[in-house]
Amino acid sequence: MKSINFSADVIDPEDPETLQEMTIAAVNDALGQIEKMTEDKLGKFTKGLPF
């Protein structure tokens, strides 16, 4: 995820960047964890395959 925008109604209007940055970091971390779990689970099945 590279960007996200929130409605001004739901954020601190003086500091919208903090919530945006924290949300992007959390989503990217979750995606990284999913990728690692997928590799850990599927790696045993794809080990040695040429791709």
9 within some domain: no
20 within some domain: yes
Q: What average pLDDT does the structure give for the chain?
A: 87
Contacts of 12 (CB under 8 A, 6+ apart): 18, 19
> Quick check: pTM over 0.85?
no
48 within some domain: no
2 within some domain: no
Task: Give the chain's domain count.
Answer: 1
Domain range spanning residue 35?
15-39
Per-residue pLDDT tens over the stretch 4-28: 888 888 888 889 889 889 999 999 9
32 within some domain: yes
Q: What value, to the nearest 5°, has the Cα angle with vertex 1 and ends 44 and 3?
A: 175
Q: Rg of the Cα trace of the chain?
A: 17
6 within some domain: no
Are 19 and 11 contacting, i.e. CB atoms less than 8 angstroms apart? yes
28 within some domain: yes
